[in-house]
Structure 1
């Protein structure tokens, strides 16, 4: 079977590429590795990195003449994926079109209902599902075979059918390493600033899948499941050594949702890195209440230089009763303190505009950010709504999303998005006003010294789709100017008083 796997062009991730933060598509690379091992002919087209136009992709499809065309999707970039499915079917109608990735997994029926050019959706982990689909389709290109394949949704005779989800892959060590050799690796510009070393090429790795926790906004349990499945330390080290030798990278981003879900495994991975004297640098995302000082010291010795963790909200009520994060603020302060003492860069994630979050509670979050001004990296976002999550249900109940909302149709003007900054994902805005959220964003930016309004003007103009968008950006401009004037008068007021 000839299989072509595609990353859509343009959109949010093309903007990330221009900013120097584009990572290889591990999901597609794992699927490609499994299919290649099974004897299929594979071609991967990362149209975002290659900066291809849809017309150029169509030419490649006609030339390759694939039996199956697979397209990955995220909610941030879903409209580009939808357009690519349409263009692919137009270019080569006899190919089976397959949509996978996080967005398709969370909204399979919605995708099929609004995309007549789409034949099949792969739900969740794609390796075994695509392997079975390719094998059965090679034997008999008949839609009746779809009914026997777990993890698929498909359309047949005008009816949408969703099969049972496939059981998760328990032995991740059995998977081949991602097929990096099938992509133009040298074109990826994923880099990290390592203290004392400068800006170095980096690569992303997944060492576990799944998340047992219950955050209301998170789609990970839907995509990967709640059961955490982990690669063995030996298998992780084998891939690190392979990538270091093959691609000359010394910086690794362990892209797990919770790298320290099993602290003993983390300690063993660190022991192996130290024993083998790999001299690598790495970063990861952790959960605050699953780490102690001795483990962090060992991680530092093994090359950890950057540690990310989510607090999400300063308010304990919002954090634990609304988000269901179940994290203590003392754990946050303690881990930040350890990081600063050990010369590890702490990066905290914060989110504004949670359900029922008041202005006073949002102030608690911004005060924590300002407390650690210049000491931590802080990443903020307005709360995103993803399909299939508890938050999506809440958004419809509160009228943030209309009851008949479709992820495959253009948003009504009243739905707020920031496509260039945070992808084309609806933002949850209910209790807080747009003016208040804008103030929080700019106060964070001032504390991080990262804001430059002039640099954003071309992107702002590009993203204006309606009068409502224009009005929101004007509100942001007014808030920005007001805060700048406030800072200016705070700075000169001592001088004025001294003259008196």
Structure 2
């Protein structure tokens, strides 16, 4: 080919693999629009969001064929639907094997060794791609050498050995990056709606999602952030962030934003400056804070957050036992501090959501029950309960593999190939996967919906009626039944076509202290449906 001029940046459709509550999210193509902003002056760039528009494979191929690009860049933000990006590259190569394919983003950075086996990808970007992608384009156009770091290729003179690859350097000056080129998509399709009803959706529309920093030095064993954006904390200046919000207000009329940083609150002086700027400039923006570390909160920060427009805080407590926090998760959370911070957030008038994780290696059944008891004690407006998942490259995955505690297959790279992310993949003498699925569902139900007052508050937070809330609860339990059915069928190696119900064996009492007796779990094929709501 003579060179690269026409570029299409693609987010593939995860629904090519499955339709469920996770693939129904509207994932803002922030990384693609940022990359487009970096290269648009020198190249003809188009952003294609197959996921947001739910393109069929045929529709996707027709769009790519009509655009007739020289290069297609694909991205994926999760390993869970890894097949979708491989299908995207396959479809591109079916149109023309001469189209250059590049994959980058979270999945590529974490799983590049496995991805390299798929020859539908010509190049794999590992690490932050804003600058090294430009180097690759220069190389492809004969105006430079192959990037010394950040890319795997397949030709002579390119880096073709995954084990010798150096990832792209971490970008130190984040202020030097442009704002995402939202004009290259119909931004209203993202800012005026969400993919599903949830406690995490914005309270006011139009809204935007903000990323103001990269990296996290905490080192939680279950987290991939250090693999993706590194341990050192790098951040944009407060003025740079405020100017972006002012631009989004002026051009897109935003009324709220989500703070999606992995660890926004690690730099307290910066947080205080940011909140004070929102207050002093009277920006009147509502905002939500996600994945907030308990140990970065204090009374002053909480007060400033509330006065600056923060309406909801998702507090990452993780566990209700000090041993699990200290020895397994490696997160410096103190339960007494979590109690105090939770109380102060509610007193400040902000909604409180808490995140907990169960099912870690060596975690006992009693410790799992203690986590549910602690969640009830601090009494959030909504408590989320996740199942510990050994994500590729994490210390948790290493711990599980070295001690032969994985319930599913993993190849030599550590990528879980047949993982059901809605159930545990870790084995224990204390509990079974069925136990974890059952206790998670029933304690989620008991803690979050136990009083009329809590149900009314939750329906208000979600912007739905009490009847609609009841419908979501029902559909969630149907999805739990479906997961249990799948686990039983997988364990038996076949389906149970001759029976409408399946009994579930379990260890221990599926109750936390203070819980009432649970009804039996009936798993009916006729009633089981695809999960659609709270994420089971």
Match of 1:452 in 2: 473
Task: Note closer, same or farther for the CA distance 1:385–1:304 as it changes in structure 2 (3 Å cut).
Answer: same
Higher RCO (C-alpha under 8 Å, 6+ residues apart) = 1
Task: Note closer, same or farther for the CA distance 1:6–1:14 as it changes in structure 2 (3 Å cut).
Answer: farther
Taking only aligned residues, the RMSD between alpha carbons, in angstroms, comes to 3.2
Q: Distance in 1 between matches of 2:185 and 2:504?
A: 40
1:271 equivalent in alignment to 2:293: no
- What is the TM-score normalised by the length of structure 1? 0.85
Which of 490, 494, 507 in structure 2 is aligned with 1:468?
490
- What is the TM-score normalised by the length of structure 2? 0.80
1:204 equivalent in alignment to 2:186: no
Match of 1:369 in 2: 375
How far the C-alpha of 1:36 sits from its partner, in A, is 1.4
Match of 1:90 in 2: 94
Contact 1:132-1:149 at 8 Å conserved across structures: no
1:486 equivalent in alignment to 2:517: yes
1:76 equivalent in alignment to 2:80: yes
Task: Say which is worse superposed, 269-278 or 459-468, in terms of deviation.
Answer: 459-468
How far the C-alpha of 1:288 sits from its partner, in A, is 1.2
Q: Distance in 2 between matches of 1:13 and 1:34?
A: 33
1:397 equivalent in alignment to 2:402: yes
Task: Note closer, same or farther for the CA distance 1:193–1:75 as it changes in structure 2 (3 Å cut).
Answer: closer
How far the C-alpha of 1:452 sits from its partner, in A, is 3.0
Task: Note closer, same or farther for the CA distance 1:199–1:15 as it changes in structure 2 (3 Å cut).
Answer: farther
Q: Structure 1 or 2: larger helix share? A: 1
1:127 equivalent in alignment to 2:130: yes
Contact 1:274-1:302 at 8 Å conserved across structures: yes
Q: What SS does structure 2 have at the residue aligned with 1:89?
A: helix
How far the C-alpha of 1:225 sits from its partner, in A, is 0.7
1:331 equivalent in alignment to 2:356: no
Task: Say which is worse superposed, 459-468 or 235-244, in terms of deviation.
Answer: 459-468
Q: Distance in 2 between matches of 1:108 and 1:118?
A: 11
Contact 1:190-1:201 at 8 Å conserved across structures: no
Contact 1:7-1:71 at 8 Å conserved across structures: yes
Match of 2:440 in 1: 441
Alignment of 1:77-476 (within 5 A): 77-113=81-117, 115-139=118-142, 145-146=145-146, 148-156=147-155, 159-161=160-162, 162-188=164-190, 189-190=193-194, 200-285=205-290, 286-373=292-379, 375-399=380-404, 400=406, 401-402=408-409, 404-405=411-412, 410-411=417-418, 416-418=419-421, 427-431=425-429, 432-442=431-441, 443-449=443-449, 452-454=473-475, 457=478, 464=486, 467-468=489-490, 474=502
Number of residue pairs the alignment of both structures matches = 469
Q: What SS does structure 2 have at the residue aligned with 1:44?
A: strand
Match of 2:34 in 1: 30
Contact 1:305-1:343 at 8 Å conserved across structures: yes
Task: Note closer, same or farther for the CA distance 1:269–1:14 as it changes in structure 2 (3 Å cut).
Answer: farther
Match of 1:495 in 2: none
Contact 1:13-1:48 at 8 Å conserved across structures: no
Q: Spell out, residue by residue over 1:33-92, the C-alpha distance to the aligned partner (whole angstroms, 9 max, x if none).
A: 11114x211111111111101111111111212222111122122111111111111122
1:3 equivalent in alignment to 2:7: yes
Task: Note closer, same or farther for the CA distance 1:79–1:407 as it changes in structure 2 (3 Å cut).
Answer: farther
